[in-house]
Structure 1
């Protein structure tokens, strides 16, 4: 993804921009038309901004997030990123036979972090999300909620400029849910842009903006 040039404005700079993004899934059946999921999505996200994206099941929210992060390629349109990106998918993409500590070493090396930095971030995130006692337990022996905590921590490991979260608090208990929002507030203050996709947003006041994905496009609510 190309970098955005900082805009000469009093507002924080745009760190993630989608312009006219379209995505169609082809049909496996002969003579059948494909399904248009995204028909022209436009989105600007600024540094330190929390944006919520809602929509009905099957509206294409996860497809949009995968397209923004580069996991799948858009059919048309453009996506520009200024900085680094972190992605927390709805289904944890973790290796069951590794422990969380081993997982962070693996991803940390992929991010190019030093061994000392990986260890420091591991201890910090495990403490903040309350799974430090499980750092040396295999992933496949963790509860769904703790797997999701590790999933989120992996996305935060390299301190990204933009954080994309797909239903991030699924399986969290109340205390972890509150800790998640405390951490989110700190990230916002540090200038991290956060996009949260959810089928339902109850606490509207936590978001700077909420957009709805409907008929393949985004509209601010």
Structure 2
């Protein structure tokens, strides 16, 4: 299935599930932009159009018996774990981020939303220390885990070797890292035991691998850049349950998403759409 046919099928599946036409156009446009920028095949990046549409419907549709309900009220959040102030970043004379502020405390999930190209991934890379801002500063209190939107895995390593490698960088023994990786993977309904090299994994499974590696070593801050790409509906539900578990454990979480519609899933929303850069607390 070529890209145009996949996007057309996605649009039809979204509308068949009763997704608002405006939101459907937005999701299709986001997917088209991702495919254009990543140069990935749509089945690799997102999976089948019906499965991806189901994940969108799970996120924005009315609650269903099989859907995760909103978590109960929790105690007040803890100390500030991530603080970004006045972040400015320009690429080739184009201002991508202009005076962006974001504060996330222990026990909070912050969602970063906005149109394609508004700087969501750039902000996360700056917070992770992978890019430098032109102005502004980021302060992290504690250890950091990062899940990229693309890349992050080594083609010729199996999942257990990824766990061991990342675990070693976080002071974990090989056996403990592999056991922890498999435990985290089970929470996403994935069994990495016996899996082959990363180059043979589907796009959704590679993202599960990235997400598991981000959580190894029990980091205090988790930065997740659209980590659900290619997930089916069940995996997408498992993903949010995993985030709630991390939040309840006192983690500070920042997740870049374009599927978010119900604010009861998060505590803070940062909209980076030009002329609408605001931080709102749910």
TM range (shorter): 0.7 to 0.9
Structure 1 residues 198-207 or 83-92, which shifts more?
Answer: 198-207
- 2:78 paired with 1:19: no
Structure 2 counterpart SS, 1:62:
helix
Structure 1 segments (4+ residues) deviating >6 Å: none
**TM-score under structure 2 length normalisation:** 0.69
* Higher strand content, 1 or 2: 1
Query: Could you tell me whether the CA contact under 8 Å between 2:182 and 2:192 is conserved in 1?
Result: no
Q: Report what 1:201 is aligned to.
A: 260
RMSD of Structure 2 on Structure 1 (CA): 1.7
Q: Are the counterparts in 2 of residues 129 and 180 from structure 1 also a CA contact under 8 Å?
A: yes
Structure 1 unpaired stretches of 5+: 1-9, 27-33
Kept in 2: contact 1:36–1:216 (CA 8 A): no
How far apart, CA to CA, are the structure 2 residues paired with 1:88 and 1:121? 17
Task: Report what 1:30 is aligned to.
Answer: none
Structure 1 counterpart of 2:141: 82
- Tell me by how many angstroms 1:130 deviates: 2.4
How far 1:218 sits from its partner (Å)? Answer: 3.2
For residue 214 of structure 1, give the secondary structure of its aligned residue in structure 2: coil
Q: Are the counterparts in 2 of residues 18 and 80 from structure 1 also a CA contact under 8 Å? A: yes
> What is the correspondence of 1:41-60 to structure 2 with a 5 Å cutoff?
41-60=100-119
Q: Which residue, 199, 203, 211 being the options, matches 1:144?
A: 203
1:99-128 CA-partner distances (Å, limit 9, x unpaired): 011111111112221223212212211221
2:160–2:192 Cα contact (<8 Å) kept: no
Residue-pair matches, total: 205
Contact 1:40 1:217 in 2 (8 A): no
More helix by share: 2
Match of residue 132 from structure 2: 73
* CA distance, structure 2, for counterparts of residue 69 and residue 213 of structure 1: 18
Distance 2:275 2:156 in 1: 38
Encode CA deviations 1:117-144: one digit per residue, 9 max, x unaligned: 2122122112212222555311111111
Give the equivalent residue in structure 1 for 2:17.
Answer: none
The answer to whether the aligner puts 1:219 opposite 2:274 as a matched pair is: no
Deviation at 1:91, TM superposition (A): 0.6
Q: Name the CA distance, whole Å, in 2 between partners of 1:134 and 1:57.
A: 36
In structure 2, how many angstroms separate the alpha carbons of the residues matched to 1:119 and 1:59?
37
Q: In structure 1, which of residues 149, 157, 163 is the aligned counterpart of residue 222 of structure 2? A: 163
